[in-house]
């Protein structure tokens, strides 16, 4: 909505203007897209090769149960994430809360908390021998809390880590929101609750759908939290079947099923979006007037406080508790430097590689010929819904059988991260590139710059904000990523994530303490600085 | 249309993008110069002597710590890092070897070796149970070990064909919470847990664990496939809780989260040693020849595809030395298999255990057991 059609030529027009041979960028883009699809192609081949075995795995009655579990959990988590995020976004954007920017920043931070850490934190608080159980037993003599393990634990954990996926787009939508529309509805006599339902909510619909999609995809692909909370979903079963089976075609078939579910979700969201009526404001949108904190918004502030305590305070608290307890009994803690260095290195390298691969894709999608852009669309959407575990499994098998020189090497791990986060990076870059005026490049060309200098001196600087944001995004997600790291790391290569995972599955809590704290800091600190900076920039612009 | 489309692709990233832009990540991402190699270089050998024999496999290694200079040994360990990591590191240092260890579940690493085939990077496989070792032996993945090494271990605890050798012994036990379970409540045979409503929602097990899988293989050999499958289904029907490993079963039992679990004997002892106080849990040993009292070994085999056989032999030699065997006795509370190294005083002597009549070399049908666990829906 910020892009005015009169100021920037439409992409369609640019495409019509370009004819002739495919450019280097377009070839590169198609190559990267093919690479992104290679793991799936391999799985298809493996599943087909399995024939009877694959079919048996798909027809096994347990498969239906697992699919049902995955789907129900994803749906419920997505719904509760959005329901939680909506009031929080409204509160921090529309209400003059004291310390509003701080609240807004903090509420985004659980995004940087890995699901497996959150799961342990939830168990430590609500589990059968958790803090609450102890308290309840002392106060009321109740010995057992309702069972946490299973659906409810998984639901709570995943809601706490995925609500930011709705909260961030919703806040952005509220910030762009033209309140004149609501005012118009009110002057026409619509009562306030109806204004919300009929005007506000439909306008937020794209943001709501983004949130639903991302939370659901996250839940479908999640591996750590559901393993800890013992709610075996399709993803967990794929992991076990793959690891513990002499015939891996069954795992390949199940993995394809999971890919199918994710792709379906992505396509459904896209379909409904296209059918949605998008309201466009003409003229200058009127910035919202923040309402004072009143009796109606107070409970929401309490809710926000509660979410922060659970989503941010709890994981830090539990990791801190592990540390204090370990120090108290005088345990020697293994050094964390290697893991930290490894995490930071792969994070940075993966970010650079991913963005380098994503750049031609984004460029071709934004500026390439329509046919190429369409061809890129499908693989990117599929890759977007591809769970990390599926990607990792395919790469392990593929490299063992076809590319032994890549097997268990750092480049393969980096490739795994790159393919995993390519769609996100490409999406970020694409949105920035598509907002650039192609006339600037044309001007540079007519002024005699060679194409590579145009790229270096015009395109790249213009795309810089997008490049940086994509880099940081990939870095943050790489550092906390678990399944790809577990399956593709070279022998003996420990990252913060695998150090935490290894120590906790061995029930060696004291050894998990330091890496867990460092891992939280590595994610939360940059994320916090950036969103704080964004909040301040918002003020400078008067938004 | 297209623009709207592409704006959406980024999803979160689009939203996060402006957040993250232009801060440049400078404060956010400390950038180390390079990725450093994983392994920390091991200390130089104390007394470098001549390299051990050049002919692999058949050459018995006689002296412990016949150190070579350098050399890399890759171990696939189905035993957890927290249990034996310190030992493996120490041996690597003493032998002057650069030891790289891939930790995982025993069956996971065995299947990985099978998939990797001749190109497997593994030199040595350290399995949690004889079954996985047998499965690798059956597929022709293991090289014969020299008799001198094999003979250090009593006959029941090594491969009939000399393809693997036991390093430490362990017994299957039922760990139970002493505040909630009286020992006489425990069925006289592990088979009788199935279908016993007393234990509904109160049992814990770890179907992904190698020792458990070896027990299932033993049950199949002793009672037949149908009985084994019925047992698995029966326990599953009691809503037994699935844990990732023995250690977490024991912890949950101590905490009273579950009342009993199927484990190896030493995890409880480790917990006791760490807690430094009496814990409300006890091991129940089946001493009536029941499948529940299976005595198994953790053992090693050298990969036929290994190009560092001599280093692997040195390593095995060390594992069967008195120093390493004492580690198993004192640190992990397992049964040392080397003659003359005493077991932990809290343990019943190995000779008095009366395990079910079974040759460990016959536990090699891991493939069938995994398939059964999958059929039952436990994996």
At A394-446, the pLDDT tens digits run 888 888 888 888 888 999 999 999 999 998 888 888 877 777 777 888 888 88
Partners of residue A254 in chain B, C-beta under 8 Å: none
Helix H, strand E, coil C: the string for B169-205 is: EEEEEEEEECCCCCHHHCCCCHHHHCCCHHHCCCEEE
Distance in Å, alpha carbon of A183 to nearest chain B alpha carbon: 26
- Residue B114 or residue A466, greater confidence: B114
Cα torsion angle, A301, A519, A322, A488, sign: positive
**Model pLDDT, residue A21:** 64
- Taking CB atoms and an 8 Å limit, are A400 and B25 in contact across chains? no
pLDDT bucket at A230, cuts 50 / 70 / 90: confident
**Two tokens at A215?**
């939370």
Give the pLDDT confidence of A274-330 residue by residue, as tens digits: 655 555 545 566 666 788 888 888 899 999 999 999 999 999 999 999 899 888 877
Q: Element (H or E) spanning A443, and its range?
A: helix A438-446
B8 vs A273, A473, A475: nearest CB:
A273
pLDDT bucket at A67, cuts 50 / 70 / 90: very high
Q: Element (H or E) spanning B89, and its range?
A: helix B81-95
As a residue count, chain B comes to: 379
Q: Is the pLDDT of residue A5 over 50?
A: no
Average pLDDT over residues A380-388: 78
- Taking CB atoms and an 8 Å limit, are B9 and A423 in contact across chains? yes
A59 touches chain B (CB under 8 A): no
d(CA A165, CA A149): 24
Question: CA separation (Å) from A48 to A64, A249, A396, B257, B375?
Answer: 20, 8, 18, 43, 20
Average pLDDT over residues B174-195: 95
Q: Is the pLDDT of residue B317 over 90?
A: yes
- Taking CB atoms and an 8 Å limit, are A244 and B9 in contact across chains? no
d(CA B352, CA A259): 54
**Model pLDDT, residue A12:** 46
b or e along A406-422 (b: 16 or more beta carbons within 10 Å of the residue's beta carbon)?
bbbbbebbbbbbbbbbb
- Taking CB atoms and an 8 Å limit, are A346 and B35 in contact across chains? yes
Cα torsion angle, A500, A506, A511, A513, sign: positive
d(CA A131, CA A127): 8
Average pLDDT over residues A499-511: 81
Do residues B360 and A227 make contact, with C-beta atoms less than 8 angstroms apart? no
**Two tokens at A226?**
């559901």
SS percent in chain A: helix, strand, coil, step 5:
80, 0, 20
d(CA A250, CA A234): 12
Beta strand B203-205 pairing with B281-285: unpaired
Q: What is the ipTM of this complex?
A: 0.78
Between positions 200 and 259 of B, the ones with CB within 8 A of A are: 208, 241-242, 244-245, 247-248, 251, 255-257
- Judged by DSSP in three states, B145 sits in coil
**Model pLDDT, residue A285:** 61
In percent, the amount of chain B with pLDDT more than 90 equals 64
A342 touches chain B (CB under 8 A): yes
Among A244, A336, A341, which would you mutate to test the B interface (most chain B Cβ atoms within 10 Å of its Cβ)? A244
For residue B54, give the DSSP letter: S
For residue A323, give the DSSP letter: H
Average pLDDT over residues B319-347: 93
SS percent in chain B: helix, strand, coil, step 5:
40, 15, 45
Residue listed under structure tokens 């071709």: A364
Mean pLDDT across chain A, nearest whole number? 84
Q: Which residue of A has its CA nearest to B378?
A: A237
d(CA A288, CA A143): 51
Average pLDDT over residues A199-207: 83
pLDDT bucket at A10, cuts 50 / 70 / 90: very low
Task: Give the range among A464-478, B111-125, B138-152, B266-280 with minimum mean pLDDT.
Answer: A464-478
Beta bridge partners of B296: B170
d(CA A320, CA A326): 10
**Model pLDDT, residue A275:** 57
- Taking CB atoms and an 8 Å limit, are A384 and B9 in contact across chains? yes
- A232, A237, A239, A240: CA torsion to nearest 10: 100
Task: Give the range among A306-310, A360-364, B160-164, B341-345 with minimum mean pLDDT.
Answer: A360-364
- A288, A294, A295, A298: CA torsion to nearest 10: 80
Q: Is A178 exposed, middle or buried (0-12, 13-18, 19+ CB in 10 A)?
A: buried
- Residue A444 or residue A370, greater confidence: A444
Q: How many beta-carbon pairs under 8 angstroms link A with B?
A: 244
B89 touches chain A (CB under 8 A): no
**Two tokens at B89?**
């590191």
Q: Is the pLDDT of residue A179 over 70?
A: yes
**Model pLDDT, residue A282:** 55
- Taking CB atoms and an 8 Å limit, are A214 and B12 in contact across chains? yes
pTM over 0.90: no
**Model pLDDT, residue A538:** 63
Q: Element (H or E) spanning B266, and its range?
A: helix B266-275
Do residues A240 and B379 make contact, with C-beta atoms less than 8 angstroms apart? yes
Highest average pLDDT, of A176-180, A246-250, B1-5, comes from A246-250
- Taking CB atoms and an 8 Å limit, are B23 and A529 in contact across chains? yes
d(CA A379, CA A35): 10
A249 touches chain B (CB under 8 A): no
DSSP string, A179-242: HHHHHHHHHTT--HHHHIIIIIHHHHHHHHHHHHHHHHHHHHH--HHHHHTT---HHHHHHHHH
B80 touches chain A (CB under 8 A): yes
pLDDT bucket at B27, cuts 50 / 70 / 90: very low
Highest average pLDDT, of A373-382, A418-427, B42-51, comes from A418-427
Give the pLDDT confidence of B351-362 residue by residue, as tens digits: 889 999 999 999
Find the radius of gyration of the CA atoms of chain B. Answer: 24
**Two tokens at B351?**
């000779």
Distance in Å, alpha carbon of B202 to nearest chain A alpha carbon: 13
What are the phi and psi torsion angles at B103 (to 5°)? Answer: -95, 145
Do residues B306 and B143 make contact, with C-beta atoms less than 8 angstroms apart? yes
**Two tokens at B99?**
């030891």
- Taking CB atoms and an 8 Å limit, are A410 and B35 in contact across chains? yes
**Model pLDDT, residue B37:** 35
Do residues A274 and A381 make contact, with C-beta atoms less than 8 angstroms apart? no
B307 touches chain A (CB under 8 A): no
In percent, the amount of chain A with pLDDT more than 70 equals 91
Mean pLDDT across chain B, nearest whole number? 83
Give the pLDDT confidence of A468-479 residue by residue, as tens digits: 778 888 898 899
């Amino acid at each position: 909505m910020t892009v005015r059609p009169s100021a920037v030529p439409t992409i369609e027009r640019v495409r019509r203007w370009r004819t002739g041979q495919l450019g280097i960028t377009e070839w590169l883009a198609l190559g990267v897209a093919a690479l992104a699809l290679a793991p799936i192609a391999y799985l298809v081949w493996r599943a087909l090769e399995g024939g009877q075995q694959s079919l048996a795995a798909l027809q096994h009655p347990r498969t239906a149960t697992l699919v049902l579990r995955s789907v129900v959990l994803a749906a419920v988590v997505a719904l509760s994430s959005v329901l939680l995020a909506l009031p929080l976004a409204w509160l921090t954007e529309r209400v003059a809360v004291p310390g509003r920017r701080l609240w807004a920043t903090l509420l985004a931070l659980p995004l940087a908390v890995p699901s497996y850490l959150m799961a342990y934190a939830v168990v430590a608080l609500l589990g059968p021998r958790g803090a609450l159980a102890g308290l309840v037993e002392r106060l009321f003599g109740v010995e057992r809390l309702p069972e946490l393990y299973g659906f409810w634990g998984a639901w709570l954990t995943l809601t706490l880590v995925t609500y930011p996926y709705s909260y961030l787009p919703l806040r952005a939508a509220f910030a762009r929101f033209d309140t004149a529309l609501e005012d118009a509805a009110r002057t026409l006599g619509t009562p306030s609750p109806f204004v919300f339902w009929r005007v506000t909510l439909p306008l937020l619909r794209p943001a709501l759908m983004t949130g639903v999609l991302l939370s659901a995809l996250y839940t479908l692909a999640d591996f750590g939290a559901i393993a800890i909370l013992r709610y075996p979903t399709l993803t967990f079963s794929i992991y076990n079947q793959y690891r513990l089976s002499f015939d891996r075609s069954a795992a390949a078939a199940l993995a394809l099923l999971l890919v199918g579910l994710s792709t379906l979700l992505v396509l459904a969201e896209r379909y409904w979006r296209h059918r949605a009526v998008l309201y466009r404001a003409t003229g200058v949108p009127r910035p919202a007037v923040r309402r004072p904190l009143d009796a109606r918004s107070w409970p929401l502030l309490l809710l926000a406080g509660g979410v922060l305590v659970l989503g941010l305070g709890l994981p830090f608290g539990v990791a801190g508790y592990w540390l204090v307890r370990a120090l108290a009994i005088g345990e020697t803690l293994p050094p964390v430097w290697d893991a930290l260095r490894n995490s930071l290195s792969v994070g940075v390298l993966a970010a650079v590689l991913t963005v380098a691969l994503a750049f031609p894709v984004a460029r071709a999608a934004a500026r390439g010929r329509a046919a190429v852009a369409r061809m890129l669309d499908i693989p990117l959407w599929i890759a977007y819904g591809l769970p990390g575990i599926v990607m990792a499994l395919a790469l392990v098998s593929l490299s063992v059988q076809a590319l032994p020189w890549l097997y268990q090497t750092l480049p393969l791990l980096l490739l795994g991260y790159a393919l995993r986060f390519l769609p996100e990076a490409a999406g970020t870059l694409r949105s920035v590139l598509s907002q650039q005026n192609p006339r600037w490049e044309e001007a540079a060309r007519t002024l005699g710059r060679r194409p590579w200098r145009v790229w270096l001196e015009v395109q790249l600087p213009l795309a810089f904000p997008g490049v940086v944001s994509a880099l940081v995004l990939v870095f943050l997600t790489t550092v906390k990523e678990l399944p790809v790291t577990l399956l593709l790391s070279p022998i003996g290569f420990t990252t913060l994530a695998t150090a935490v995972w290894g120590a906790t599955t061995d029930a060696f809590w004291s050894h998990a303490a330091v890496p867990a704290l460092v891992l939280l800091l590595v994610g939360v600190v940059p994320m916090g600085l950036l969103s704080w900076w964004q909040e301040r920039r918002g003020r400078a612009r008067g938004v | 249309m297209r623009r709207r489309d592409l704006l959406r692709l980024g999803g979160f990233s689009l939203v996060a993008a402006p957040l993250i832009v232009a801060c440049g990540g400078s404060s956010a991402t400390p950038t180390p110069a390079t990725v450093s190699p994983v392994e920390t270089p091991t200390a130089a050998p104390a007394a470098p002597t001549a390299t051990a024999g050049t002919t692999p496999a058949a050459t018995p290694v006689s002296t412990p710590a016949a150190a070579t200079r350098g050399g890399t040994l890759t171990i696939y360990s189905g035993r957890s890092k927290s249990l034996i990591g310190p030992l493996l590191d120490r041996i690597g240092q003493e032998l002057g070897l650069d030891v790289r260890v891939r930790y995982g579940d025993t069956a996971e690493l065995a299947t990985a070796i099978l998939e990797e085939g001749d190109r497997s990077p593994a030199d040595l496989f350290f399995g949690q149970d004889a079954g996985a070792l047998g499965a690798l032996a059956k597929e022709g993945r293991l090289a014969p070990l020299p008799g001198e090494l094999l003979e250090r271990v009593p006959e029941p605890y090594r491969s009939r064909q000399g393809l693997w050798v036991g390093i430490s012994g362990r017994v299957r036990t039922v760990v139970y919470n002493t505040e909630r379970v009286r020992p006489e409540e425990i069925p006289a045979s592990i088979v009788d847990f199935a279908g016993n409503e007393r234990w509904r929602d109160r049992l814990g097990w770890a179907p992904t664990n190698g020792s458990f899988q070896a027990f299932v293989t033993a049950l199949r050999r002793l009672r037949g496939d149908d009985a084994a499958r019925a047992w698995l289904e029966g326990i599953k029907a009691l809503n037994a809780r699935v844990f990732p490993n023995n250690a977490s079963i024991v912890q949950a039992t101590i905490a009273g989260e579950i009342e009993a679990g199927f484990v190896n004997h030493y995890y409880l002892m480790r917990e006791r040693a760490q807690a430094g106080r009496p814990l409300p849990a006890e091991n129940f040993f089946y001493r009536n020849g029941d499948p529940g009292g299976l005595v198994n070994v953790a053992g090693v085999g050298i990969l036929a595809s290994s190009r560092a056989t001599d280093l692997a032999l040195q390593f095995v030699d060390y594992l069967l030395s008195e120093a390493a065997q004492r580690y198993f006795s004192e640190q992990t509370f397992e049964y040392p298999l080397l003659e003359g190294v005493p077991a932990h005083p809290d343990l019943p002597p190995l000779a008095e255990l009366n395990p079910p009549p079974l040759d460990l070399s016959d536990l090699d049908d891991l493939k069938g057991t995994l398939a059964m666990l999958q059929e039952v829906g436990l994996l």
